[in-house]
Amino acid sequence: KVTTHPQKLIEPTTPILKLTRLGNRVLDFRVLVVHDGQEVLVKAVGEGRSNRMRDYGWIVDITSGETVWTMKYRNTRHAGGAQKNRIASEKLFLLPGIYLVYFKTDGVHSYPNWNSTPPDNPEEWGISIYAQNHQQKNSLLVYQRLTDIPGYVAQILGDRNSLRREVSFSLKEDAEILIYAQGEGFNDEMYDYGWIEDQTTRNVIWLMEYKKTNHGGGSRKNRIMSEKINLPAGNYILHYETDNSHAMNRWNSPPPDDPLNYGVTIIKTKK
């Protein structure tokens, strides 16, 4: 469980994760791997008005498939300058796991091209994470993408419609793997989905089934799942396919909370 505590702005030290100085029309993320459960401070500066955020951040836990924090207007305060400059500063207790720290901007009013008075600290436009226990900060590791983290095995992104893609991978020893998958599904059927085959027998040993998924944010047809399974040493094939609509950068309804990893990712875990 992730607990949140709204806080007044804490005088920051050096952030362990920094995704700031963001311009117009940006959608980006960083990976935060938490080895020891601990409290962190999330600080985000963005744009909001009429009780709605235009430039804002959020955090997805891929171990559970849940969005654990979102920068909502009601949890922000004035950040100086134009009234639409908003700042959020909240403490979260993060359990051990893998988190995606996102920020998105619209087409106007961002660093350094402001269309109104900038906030008091314009270079902080975006999202930052600060360790609260400095003795534990070395157990917080930041990576650019999921493919960069230790234990990464394979990934297929559903980056276009009518996709049929496969990638082979091998395990030199028995292992527990985390399968993090997103796709499109409704009426108990999956239309964008993945599966794993044993390369020798061609038996399907894992399949993304609708009944195993949860809502992935955005449209109700965005489905997400995160599952750990044990695989013996051997050779395998990861498959992913999409239908002719609603894929990465081709959304026909609101995208999921983790749009840049739409598809399936396999990571070897440490038991």
3-state SS, 208-271, equals CCHHHCEECCCCCCEEEEEEEEEECCEEEEEEEECCCCCCCCCCCCCCCCCHHHCEEEEEECCC
Q: What's the pLDDT at 1?
A: 47
d(CA 265, CA 198): 17
Can you tell me whether residue 140 is helix, strand or coil?
A: strand
CATH architecture of the region 147-268: Sandwich (2.60)
Q: What's the pLDDT at 135?
A: 81
Q: What's the pLDDT at 7?
A: 47
Regions of the chain where pLDDT drops below 50: 1, 5-11
What is the CATH T-level fold of the domain 3-143, as seen in this structure? Jelly Rolls (2.60.120)
Burial of 45 (0-12, 13-18, 19+ CB in 10 A): buried
What is the pTM for the complete model shown?
Answer: 0.94
- The 10s digit of each residue's pLDDT in 27-48 is 999 999 999 999 999 999 999 9
Q: What's the pLDDT at 54?
A: 98
Domains of the chain, by residue range, sit at 3-143, 147-268
Residue type, position 258, single letter: D
Domains 3-143 and 147-268 in one fold: yes
